[in-house]
Structure 1
Amino acid sequence: MQYTVGVEYALHCLVYLIDVPSKESVGIKDLAEFQGLSETFLSKVFGKLSKAGIVSSVPGVKGGYKLAKSPEDISFWDVVEAIEGPKPIFQCKNIKENGYLYREGCCSAPTFCTINLVMLSAEEKMRDDLRSKKLSWLNEELNRVLPKQIREDTRKYFS
C-alpha cells in the first residue's frame, strides 16, 4: 500500500495556508515554486482539495487558494481521501469461490471472507488514526520540531 506523493504535497501546502490572512490567498505558482514542482501537478492536487471542500479558490489576478475550513477541522484522512479517493486499499476478489471444493460443488462458500474482514478492520484503524491528526496538530508539531528560522522564512515567503 502506498499513497501518491500528492498527499504529501497537499499536507505541506495546506500547512503553508494556515497563516494566510482570511481575506488573502496563495497562488499555485508560489506554492509550486516553493515545493519545487510543476504548477500543473499541484493544480491537479488543489483541484481535488477544492472539490472536497478543504480549500477554496479565489479568482482573479491576485487569486489563488485559501483554507475553506479551520485547521482544527481538516484531518489527515480528509486530505488522503480527497487525493486518493474513498475506495478501500484491499480489494477482495472473493477468490475462495474459485477453490477446488467450491468449484466441484462439495461445499458452499461462506457469505463473508475472513481475510477481507481482517484487512478492512486494519484499514479502519489506520483511518481512525489519520482522522485524529488534524492540520492544526501538524502546524504545532512543525513549530516544535523545525528550527524557528525555517518556520519564519516559510511564513515570510507566502506573505
Structure 2
Amino acid sequence: MQYSVGVEYALHCLVYLIDVPSDESVGIKDLAEFQGLSESFLSKVFGKLSKVGIVSSVPGVKGGYRLAKSPEDISFWDVVEAVEGPKPIFQCKNIKDKGYLYREGCCSAPSFCTINLVMLDAEEKMRDYLRGKTLLWLNEELDRVLPKQVREETQKYFSRDGI
C-alpha cells in the first residue's frame, strides 16, 4: 500500500496556507517553487483539493489558493481521499470462487470473503485514525517540534512581504 507523493505535498501546502489571511491567497507558482516542484504537478493536486472544497481558488493576477475550511475541519483523510480518490486500497478479486478450496454445491449459504472483510475493516480503522488528525493538529505539532525560526521563515516566504 502506498499513497502518492501528492498527498504529502498537499498536506505541506495546506499547512502553509493556514497563516494566510482570509482575504489573501498564495499562488501555485510560489507553493511549487518553495518545494521544488513543477507547477503543473501541484496544479493537478490543487484542482482535486478545490473540487472537494478543501481550498478555494482566487482568480486574477494576484490570485491563488486559500483554505476553504478552517484547519480543524480538514482531516488528513479528507486530503488523502481528495488526492487518491475514494477507492478502497484492497481490491478483492473473489479468487476463492476459482481456487482449489472451492467445491461446486458444497454450501448453500451466501459466500463472504473473510479476507476482504478483514482488509476492509483494517482500512476503516486507518481512515478513522486519519480523520482524527487535522491540519490544526499538524500546525500545532509543527509549532512544537520545529525551531521557531523555521516556522517564521516559512510564514514570511508566503506573506505578501516575502513574495
**TM-score normalised by structure 2 residue count:** 0.94
Which position in structure 2 is the counterpart of 1:27?
27
The answer to whether the aligner puts 1:7 opposite 2:42 as a matched pair is no
| Counterparts of 2:104 and 2:84, CA distance in 1 | 40
Which position in structure 2 is the counterpart of 1:153?
153
Which position in structure 2 is the counterpart of 1:107?
106
Secondary structure (helix, strand or coil) at the match of 1:133 reads coil
Displacement after TM superposition at 1:107 (Å)? 1.9
Q: Deviations over 1:49-106 (max 9, x none)?
A: 000110000000000000000000000000000000001000000100002353x525
Percent identity, aligned pairs only, is 86
Which position in structure 2 is the counterpart of 1:69?
69
**Match of 2:30, as an amino acid?**
D
Secondary structure (helix, strand or coil) at the match of 2:87 reads coil
- Aligned-CA RMSD value: 1.1
Aligned CA distance change for structure 1 residues 101 and 134 (closer, same or farther; 3 Å): closer
Kept in 2, the 8 Å contact 1:101–1:107? The answer is: no
Which position in structure 2 is the counterpart of 1:123?
123
Secondary structure (helix, strand or coil) at the match of 1:93 reads coil
Displacement after TM superposition at 1:126 (Å)? 0.4
**Match of 1:105, as an amino acid?**
E
**TM-score normalised by structure 1 residue count:** 0.96
Higher helix content, 1 or 2: 1
Secondary structure (helix, strand or coil) at the match of 2:128 reads helix
Which position in structure 1 is the counterpart of 2:88?
88
| Counterparts of 2:39 and 2:101, CA distance in 1 | 55
| Counterparts of 1:105 and 1:143, CA distance in 2 | 61
Runs of 5+ unmatched residues, structure 2: none
**Match of 2:124, as an amino acid?**
E
Runs of 5+ unmatched residues, structure 1: none
| Counterparts of 2:110 and 2:98, CA distance in 1 | 13
Secondary structure (helix, strand or coil) at the match of 1:107 reads coil
